[in-house]
Amino acid sequence: MNREKFIEELKKLNVNIDNRQLEQLEKYYELLESENKLYNLTSITNKEEVFLKHFYDSITIIKVVPLTNQSLCDLGTGAGFPGMVLKIIFPELKITLIDATLKKCHFLEKVICELNLKDINVINARAEEYAQNNREIFDIVTARAVAPLKHLLEYGIPLVKKNGMFIAMKGNISNEIVNIDNYLQKLKIKENEIITFNLPIENSIRTLVSFVKLEKTDKKYPRRYKDIKNKEL
């Protein structure tokens, strides 16, 4: 996706970006490309592909919720998708990026420093461990391409404030949205919306699944990773 098409497609999402933001994305791309060998960040390195499959794709979360100055936590952010991109495009957001891999966190720190971003911090932890002691603190929690939906709900929901939102960004996940009633009940959430669309140009399918938190989460969640993986809630 070239620069013109990127700007045009963002306009369709009602997102206008200025030259400074475009320059920040260009610099982010250069860092991603140059540091990729060192940090093993992404299999996508071609510039037009990064702009489409990482940058544009990250911004599509705006289809679910307007972004202004909320606190937003991105679980399993990897090289910063969607969290870092959202910080660049919606600078008033207060962002927390979490990833279990230390070298990815080093890369994220480097980008934050080079782009001089404020109100954004990086935490090197497993989400289910971080969620033990950081409960009900974010307006929005997101995760793109990190784990099965049920695992994500168990890690992510404890972090969300009451009435806040959890948003999973995935490819085609119709098979993951079945039999989740138990999760809705025990985690005290309700399904909000499922939005399916195709990425421009290459047309691959994307799904945004959102949930609203109705009540505080019981302290027994999240369980340990072994249980999350092996036993249903």
Q: What is the contact surface with ligand SAH in residues (CB under 6 A)?
A: 75-78, 81, 98-101, 104, 126-128, 144-147, 155
Q: How far is the CB of 144 from ligand SAH (least distance, A)?
A: 4
Based on CB atoms, which residue is closest to ligand SAH, 9 or 128? 128
Q: How far is the CB of 232 from ligand SAH (least distance, A)?
A: 18
Based on CB atoms, which residue is closest to ligand SAH, 16 or 198? 198
Distance CA 126, CA 100 (A): 5
Q: How far is the CB of 133 from ligand SAH (least distance, A)?
A: 14
Instruction: At 169, list the tokens.
Output: 């960004």
**Best CA proximity match to 144, nearest among 49, 72, 226, 212:** 72
Q: How far is the CB of 148 from ligand SAH (least distance, A)?
A: 11
**Cβ-proximal residues to 208 (8 Å cutoff; 6+ apart), any chain:** 60, 61, 63, 64, 167, 168, 169, 170, 193, 194, 195, 196
Based on CB atoms, which residue is closest to ligand SAH, 127 or 140? 127
**Cβ-proximal residues to 213 (8 Å cutoff; 6+ apart), any chain:** 157, 160, 161, 162, 163, 164, 165, 166, 187, 188, 189
Q: How far is the CB of 59 from ligand SAH (least distance, A)?
A: 13
Q: How far is the CB of 205 from ligand SAH (least distance, A)?
A: 15
Based on CB atoms, which residue is closest to ligand SAH, 23 or 171? 171
Based on CB atoms, which residue is closest to ligand SAH, 81 or 183? 81
Contact by Cβ (8 Å): 84, 77: yes
Based on CB atoms, which residue is closest to ligand SAH, 65 or 127? 127
Based on CB atoms, which residue is closest to ligand SAH, 19 or 206? 206
Give the rounded distance of the alpha carbon of 34 from its chain centre.
23
Distance CA 225, CA 129 (A): 9
Element (H, E) at 191: strand 189-198
Instruction: Assign 181 to helix, strand or coil.
Output: helix
Q: How far is the CB of 123 from ligand SAH (least distance, A)?
A: 9
